[in-house]
């Protein structure tokens, strides 16, 4: 962690001035003049006042993105020039990495130690996109039409992209959408989450510094029901890439119908993590614990349903609970913190509401179970790692996404049974399997209906590996070739070159 003291770090970015939005290369206040407060989830203090953009600001941002796409210099940028922008941005991200990690930690509460490890993926991802910028191509297709007729496909950017992200990983989620847009030649309007917009705005400054022309990336801060809704129904947005809850995803599908814009939906989950008795338990215990407790459970693919083979159930559940009890809960910016506060009052109410529901439904609390309110936790949104045992599949805590550090531990008896129960959910984002049996690993790898299956690991990611959902966890993919293709459209080009000699 170097010499930086993250607990006392202050940066000129948080200088007391209102934070403005990036529209057409300029930093602007909301047209309404309104702002909202961004709070520190560790103590509810005000970190900054942020411009409260709404439909009027979204109109301006979309118009700027449209101009940049249709008329601006961006249109004439060759693939190598777009690649240079992405490479420069990756370098700038690295140069300012600790500051960005600190801003994210301060704003959304995640442990800075975790962000400093996971955030390292972001420049890798930007460099992957930089590689893709010069690797896209259409095809020459032999046709059987009479005459001297040539036919080929041309890949073209889809146009103006609206990007809406949640608060649980702002620096990662924003670049996951801006990166492919820059690689393919699209333009973007990003709407960060109202709970954590600060690092996205700082990234906006770095995007300018990287030489991305005005209007190519615009950032409108504000609330989901106003700014987010305006972006998702906007008739001049060609594609909307959304990450968030399935309930908002459903609203976005409806809002997109006006101009039938393309959608990519990265939604929530209730991911099964399955531990067989033959697993390496010394690896599976921390693996299963951090599959749910990392980032205080605020990860879309968190392993929130922990299926454990009955022969090892009691021992395994106690070991996961013990692991959770040993995690240090504290302010995210403290480098020793392993579990930070939840992001907001609303989120802490939601999670503690599920703790009550679980207790009422008859699940047994093995560890955690209630909000921390003493001493340093008094003013923040702290919930300790919680293990519910003896959970039945029909309980609400086992069916609904909690998005907190709460795991439901469920015994099972056979491979066939656990596959059926793991798949018995409307969601399908991620799943985990812990076993030493290669045949079983392959069988479950195919049988689990989720966009990612991790065997003897959890939540591994790579820029080249597609990530996304089955069923109500959404459609579209992030990372990998699939994502790049989703920012492109394919044109069939026919040229009648006249009669053959």
Active site residues: 266, 300
CA–CA dist 433, 391 (Å, integer)? 19
Find the part of the chain contacting ligand NAD (CB under 6 A) among 12-20, 260-268, 351-359, 390-398.
260-268
Candidates 69, 102, 403, 487; binder of ligand NAD (CB under 6 A) is 403
Q: Judged by CB under 6 A, does residue 245 bind ligand NAD?
A: yes
Residue 347 contacts residue 297 (beta carbons within 8 Å) = no
CA atoms within a 13 Å half-sphere pointing along the CA-CB vector of 352: 16
Nearer to ligand NAD, 232 or 296 (CB): 232
Q: Judged by CB under 6 A, does residue 248 bind ligand NAD?
A: yes
Nearer to ligand NAD, 32 or 245 (CB): 245
Q: Judged by CB under 6 A, does residue 164 bind ligand NAD?
A: yes
Find the part of the chain contacting ligand NAD (CB under 6 A) among 73-81, 113-121, 265-273, 308-316.
265-273
Q: Which of 186, 236, 217 is nearest to 27 (CA)?
A: 217
Cα radius of gyration rounded to whole Å, the chain: 24
Candidates 18, 71, 139, 225; binder of ligand NAD (CB under 6 A) is 225
Q: Judged by CB under 6 A, does residue 295 bind ligand NAD?
A: no
Find the part of the chain contacting ligand NAD (CB under 6 A) among 86-94, 263-271, 272-280, 286-294.
263-271
Q: Judged by CB under 6 A, does residue 270 bind ligand NAD?
A: no
Candidates 110, 159, 180, 244; binder of ligand NAD (CB under 6 A) is 244
Q: Judged by CB under 6 A, does residue 194 bind ligand NAD?
A: yes
Find the part of the chain contacting ligand NAD (CB under 6 A) among 18-26, 32-40, 58-66, 266-274.
266-274
SS3 content of the chain, % helix, strand, coil (to 5): 40, 20, 40
End-to-end CA distance of the chain: 72
Q: Give the β-pairing of 239-243 and 470-471.
A: unpaired
Q: Judged by CB under 6 A, does residue 232 bind ligand NAD?
A: yes
CA quadruple 246, 248, 250, 253: dihedral positive or negative? negative
Q: Judged by CB under 6 A, does residue 193 bind ligand NAD?
A: yes
Find the part of the chain contacting ligand NAD (CB under 6 A) among 35-43, 158-166, 179-187, 407-415.
158-166
Candidates 229, 263, 339, 484; binder of ligand NAD (CB under 6 A) is 229
Q: What are phi and psi of 444, to 5 degrees?
A: -70, -35
Measured CA to CA in angstroms, residue 31 lies from 23, 53, 193, 221, 317 at distances of 12, 7, 19, 12, 54
Q: Judged by CB under 6 A, does residue 267 bind ligand NAD?
A: yes
Q: Judged by CB under 6 A, does residue 57 bind ligand NAD?
A: no
Q: What are phi and psi of 22, to 5 degrees?
A: -100, 110
Write the binding mask 438 to 477 for ligand NAD: x where contact by CB under 6 A, - elsewhere: -------------------------------x--------
Nearer to ligand NAD, 136 or 348 (CB): 348
CA–CA dist 360, 354 (Å, integer)? 10
CA–CA dist 293, 313 (Å, integer)? 19
CA–CA dist 457, 432 (Å, integer)? 7
Nearer to ligand NAD, 247 or 311 (CB): 247
Q: Judged by CB under 6 A, does residue 428 bind ligand NAD?
A: no
Nearer to ligand NAD, 36 or 223 (CB): 223
Measured CA to CA in angstroms, residue 301 lies from 268, 272, 402, 473 at distances of 7, 9, 12, 9
Q: Judged by CB under 6 A, does residue 54 bind ligand NAD?
A: no
Q: Judged by CB under 6 A, does residue 266 bind ligand NAD?
A: yes
Q: Judged by CB under 6 A, does residue 429 bind ligand NAD?
A: yes
Q: Judged by CB under 6 A, does residue 486 bind ligand NAD?
A: no
As measured in angstroms, the least distance from the Cβ of 461 to ligand NAD is 10
Candidates 41, 268, 384, 463; binder of ligand NAD (CB under 6 A) is 268
CA atoms within a 13 Å half-sphere pointing along the CA-CB vector of 369: 11
Nearer to ligand NAD, 50 or 229 (CB): 229
Q: Which of 328, 320, 326 is nearest to 286 (CA)?
A: 320
As measured in angstroms, the least distance from the Cβ of 241 to ligand NAD is 10
Residue 134 contacts residue 480 (beta carbons within 8 Å) = no
Measured CA to CA in angstroms, residue 131 lies from 33, 82, 125, 211 at distances of 41, 10, 10, 18
Q: Judged by CB under 6 A, does residue 401 bind ligand NAD?
A: yes
Q: Which of 111, 65, 15, 96 is nearest to 330 (CA)?
A: 111
Number of chain positions touching ligand NAD (CB under 6 A):
29
Strands (E), 368-456: 386-389, 406-412, 427-428, 430-434, 452-455
Nearer to ligand NAD, 88 or 125 (CB): 125
Residue with smallest beta-carbon separation from ligand NAD: 224
User: What size, in residues, is the chain?
Assistant: 501
Burial class for 43, CB neighbours closer than 10 Å (0-12, 13-18, 19+): middle
Find the part of the chain contacting ligand NAD (CB under 6 A) among 60-68, 207-215, 247-255, 438-446.
247-255
Q: Judged by CB under 6 A, does residue 219 bind ligand NAD?
A: no
Summarize as ranges the residues that interact with ligand NAD (CB under 6 A).
164-168, 191, 193-194, 223-225, 228-229, 232, 243-245, 248, 251-252, 266-269, 300, 401, 403, 429, 469
């Amino acid at each position: 962690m170097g010499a930086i003291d993250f607990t006392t770090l202050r940066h000129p970015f948080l200088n007391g001035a209102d934070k403005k939005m990036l529209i057409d290369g300029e930093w602007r206040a909301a047209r309404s003049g309104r702002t909202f407060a961004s709070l520190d989830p560790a103590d509810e203090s005000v970190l900054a006042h942020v411009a409260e953009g709404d439909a009027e600001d979204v109109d301006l941002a979309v118009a700027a993105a449209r101009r940049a796409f249709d008329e601006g210099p961006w249109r004439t940028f060759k693939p190598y020039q777009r690649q240079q922008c992405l490479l420069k941005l990756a370098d700038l991200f690295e140069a300012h990495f600790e500051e960005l990690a600190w801003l994210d930690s301060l704003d959304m509460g995640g442990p800075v130690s975790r962000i400093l490890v996971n955030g390292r993926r972001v420049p890798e991802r930007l460099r992957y996109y930089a590689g893709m910028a010069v690797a896209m191509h259409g095809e020459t297709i032999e046709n059987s039409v009479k005459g001297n007729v040539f036919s080929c496909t041309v890949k073209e950017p889809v146009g103006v992209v609206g990007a809406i992200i949640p608060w649980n990983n702002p620096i990662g989620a924003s670049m996951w959408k801006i990166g492919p847009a820059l690689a393919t030649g699209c333009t973007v309007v990003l709407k960060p989450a109202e709970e954590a917009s600060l690092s996205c705005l700082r990234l906006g400054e770095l995007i300018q510094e990287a030489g991305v022309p005005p209007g190519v990336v615009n950032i409108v801060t504000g609330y989901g029901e106003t700014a987010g809704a305006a972006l998702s129904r906007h008739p001049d947005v060609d594609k909307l890439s959304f990450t968030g809850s399935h309930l908002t995803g459903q609203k976005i599908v409806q809002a997109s119908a006006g101009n039938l814009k393309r959608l990519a939906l990265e939604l929530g989950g209730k991911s099964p993590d399955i531990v067989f008795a033959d697993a390496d338990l010394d690896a599976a215990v921390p693996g299963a614990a951090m599959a749910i407790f990392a980032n205080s459970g605020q990860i879309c693919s968190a392993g929130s349903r922990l299926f454990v083979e009955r022969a090892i159930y009691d021992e395994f559940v106690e070991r996961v609970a013990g692991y959770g009890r040993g995690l240090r809960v504290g302010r995210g910016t403290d480098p020793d913190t392993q579990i930070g506060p939840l992001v907001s009052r609303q989120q802490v109410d939601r999670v503690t509401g599920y703790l009550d529901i679980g207790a009422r439904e008859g699940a047994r609390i093995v560890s955690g179970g209630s909000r921390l309110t003493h001493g340093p936790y008094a003013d923040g949104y702290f919930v300790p790692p919680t293990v519910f045992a003896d959970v039945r599949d029909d309980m609400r805590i086992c069916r609904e996404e909690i998005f907190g550090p709460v795991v439901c531990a469920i015994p099972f008896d056979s491979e066939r049974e656990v596959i059926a129960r793991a798949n018995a959910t409307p969601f399908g984002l991620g799943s985990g399997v812990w076993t030493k049996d290669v045949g079983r690993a392959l069988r479950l790898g195919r049988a689990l209906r989720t966009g990612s299956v991790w065997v003897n690991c959890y939540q591994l990611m790579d820029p080249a590996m597609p990530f996304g959902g089955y069923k109500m966890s959404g459609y579209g993919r992030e990372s990998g070739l699939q994502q790049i293709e989703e920012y492109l459209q394919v044109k069939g080009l026919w040229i009648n070159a006249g009669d053959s000699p």
